[in-house]
Structure 1
Amino acid sequence: MSFQQIVGQEVPKRLLQNALRTGRVSHAYLFSGPPGSGQMQMAVTFAQALFCRELKDDACGQCLECRKIEHGNHPDLFVIEPDGASIKIDQIRELQRLFSYRAGAENPKVYIISQADTMTVQAANSLLKFLEEPQVPAVGILISDNGQALLPTIQSRTQRVPFSPLSPEMLMQELIREGHPAALVRCAVHLASGLDSCREIIQQNWFAEIRNVVLQLVKESMSRGNSSIILAQQKIFKTGLSEHLDAFFQVFHLLFKDMLHFRYGRQESIVFIDHLESISKLAITRSTEQWVSYMDLAAECRKKLRYNVNGQLCVEQLLIGMSDSGGTITA
């Protein structure tokens, strides 16, 4: 994969490509940034560019070295991931053993350590010695959501490459370009972080169902009050959707926020844009203060859910909270 195919992250791209062009590639890098910001994809692309026979500062994707990377069988690229909850000293020792042999070509060996902040103290100390005195030319890439969690001595011996979260707008543009339904994309980018997580949630059947059920429940609460509780029992707690209550409360929060966007004339920010007609009718039935209070209530119910409060009680609390604020307010 070329650097140009990676969405966003212009600062890391520029830093790494400059290193490739000038021949000043560091012996170790620390890719640090929030989950879903594409660190692993960037690390593999950087390794591919290091091995590429055709281009100096990118991966052509066509040469033998590039294809080996893409197929996951390059003999000089090693990836370490946590064994259970942590990266253990035996994994670092095995890396050192593998790196005791010279690379098969003039390029250095490359290793990528995913979730590097999960290394045990023993593993981190073992890696520290390896960083200082590799037996063969090597380039290490440590990936962490929290680079500050690594030993200060490891941080000081790596070049930090900062990653930033992808904006919802950037995620939407890429996902829609890939052919995913725009209505689902607009919602998913607010629930998940990063392209991979968004793709995963969009492809779940329950996700589209949740969007529809939330809209039905809000309409019901606005008009017939307690009948929304019966609807919730039928649509949520007698189906598999009850396994996704956290997502339910997040979608409720987004829909309440859409009501505010409509009242303030910010239609371009509305997530449920495919239900604009319904939103236009619902938004004026409550004041802006009430919609804000519903957002707070949804957030509070979600918090209670994380503390193992009964999920059905949380949903009923939200629906009752909406129906208790009855009355049409147009001002």
Structure 2
Amino acid sequence: MSFNDIVGQDVALQMLQNGLRQDAVSHAYLFNGPTGCGQMKTALTFAKAIFCTESKDDACGHCLECRKVDHGNHSDLHLIVPDGASIKIDQIRGLQRVFSYRSESNNPKVYIIDQADTMTNQAANSLLKFLEEPPIPAVAILISSNVQAMLPTIQSRSQRVPFMPLNPSTMLQILINEGYPSPLVRCAVHLSSGLEGCRELLEQNWFAEIRNLVLQLGKESMSRGSTSLITAGTKLFKTGLSEHLELIFNLFHLWFKDMLHVQYGRHESIVFIDQLEFLSNNASLRSQSQWVSYMDLAAEGKKKLRYNVNGQLCLEQFLIGLGQ
């Protein structure tokens, strides 16, 4: 893995490689952007490049240092992820203990903190002191999708590296070339901001089941005396699929948007392209304003979920709304 394998993050890569070329690697970086845009892959590649003995501004992937990172056993690289819902002070204290020992080489030690915005106040304050006064040369890489949730003092002491959502068409081509099924890929690229997030979705068996269920519910809701409530009860709430309700609302949003694409003649933008015949036959059965109102219903359903409204009630109210 080298920087050449990271797609669509040219600004971030230029910043990191310039630091390597100029021997001006910062003591702390804040990788900020939507989840799944390649932050962790970039962080690991950057760590490899810092350790690499063969290349100055990239990871060769062949030297002993690079191979140690690839195998997950480099003694100078440490990764912290949330313990449950948050990163706790004991994790930061453990990191500080490890960093009280010098590196085995001339390189600085590197630590990566994933979902750094989940740090408790105690953990964040402990890290702040560590950022300001590391006992040995160290490089911190903090990964966050919600930088505003982090202490301003941590933000100000880190060099911010922006990560951007990838263009869906770019991800679509890459993932189809990798062998993932096209109908699933077309949905996944609109549900995630990056290739990592898409692959994670596509590798879940339930993702195809959820998509098929949304198609069934979407079609049933078009007819009078809809059986969608019965379908939801038997195929969703009596199975483990009910934990993916937010994703279901997101897919419904794409389904209704496809109806608008058909009305506007924008077939190239259709996500459920394998359902083109049904979409074409049914898009005109509702006005444009009605399809938009259905999209609003889906957004309202997601909002209720976040306020901890009962999931079954949220979906049933949504499905009833489609029939009115």
- TM-score in terms of structure 1 length: 0.87
Q: Which has the larger radius of gyration?
A: 1
| Pair 1:149 & 2:175 matched | no
For the residue of structure 2 that corresponds to 1:50, the secondary structure is helix
Amino acid at match of 2:256: F
Deviation at 1:287, TM superposition (A): 1.5
For the residue of structure 2 that corresponds to 1:25, the secondary structure is coil
Hey, what does 1:279 align to over in structure 2?
279
For the residue of structure 1 that corresponds to 2:74, the secondary structure is coil
- CA shift in 2, pair 1:317/1:85, >3 Å: closer
- Cα shift readout 1:125-145 (whole Å, capped 9, x = no counterpart): 433333333332222222222
- What is the aligned length? 324
Amino acid at match of 2:201: I
Pairing of 1:292-303 with structure 2 (within 5 A): 292-303=292-303
Contact 1:28 1:140 in 2 (8 A): yes
Amino acid at match of 1:301: G
Amino acid at match of 1:195: L
Contact 2:228 2:319 in 1 (8 A): yes
In the alignment, the residues of structure 1 paired with residue 85 and residue 311 of structure 2 have an alpha-carbon distance, to the nearest angstrom, of 28
- CA shift in 2, pair 1:108/1:251, >3 Å: same
Q: Which runs of 5+ in 1 are unaligned?
A: 325-331
Hey, what does 2:203 align to over in structure 1?
203
Deviation at 1:9, TM superposition (A): 1.3
Hey, what does 1:236 align to over in structure 2?
236
More displaced stretch, 20-29 vs 64-73: 20-29
More displaced stretch, 180-189 vs 138-147: 138-147
Deviation at 1:188, TM superposition (A): 1.7
- Cα shift readout 1:1-32 (whole Å, capped 9, x = no counterpart): 10111122111100001111111111222222
In the alignment, the residues of structure 2 paired with residue 314 and residue 2 of structure 1 have an alpha-carbon distance, to the nearest angstrom, of 45
| Pair 1:188 & 2:188 matched | yes
- CA shift in 2, pair 1:129/1:169, >3 Å: same
Contact 1:7 1:174 in 2 (8 A): no
Hey, what does 2:124 align to over in structure 1?
124
- CA shift in 2, pair 1:237/1:104, >3 Å: closer
Amino acid at match of 1:168: P
Amino acid at match of 1:37: C
Contact 1:89 1:120 in 2 (8 A): yes
Q: Which runs of 5+ in 2 are unaligned?
A: none
| Pair 1:4 & 2:4 matched | yes
Contact 2:35 2:197 in 1 (8 A): no
Instruction: Calculate percent identity across the aligned residue pairs.
Output: 71
Amino acid at match of 1:136: I
Pairing of 1:33-48 with structure 2 (within 5 A): 33-48=33-48
In the alignment, the residues of structure 1 paired with residue 27 and residue 131 of structure 2 have an alpha-carbon distance, to the nearest angstrom, of 8
Amino acid at match of 1:19: G
Amino acid at match of 2:215: L
Hey, what does 1:329 align to over in structure 2?
none
Deviation at 1:310, TM superposition (A): 4.7
- Cα shift readout 1:161-184 (whole Å, capped 9, x = no counterpart): 122223323332332222111100
- CA shift in 2, pair 1:213/1:55, >3 Å: same
Hey, what does 1:328 align to over in structure 2?
none
- CA shift in 2, pair 1:241/1:73, >3 Å: closer
For the residue of structure 2 that corresponds to 1:222, the secondary structure is coil
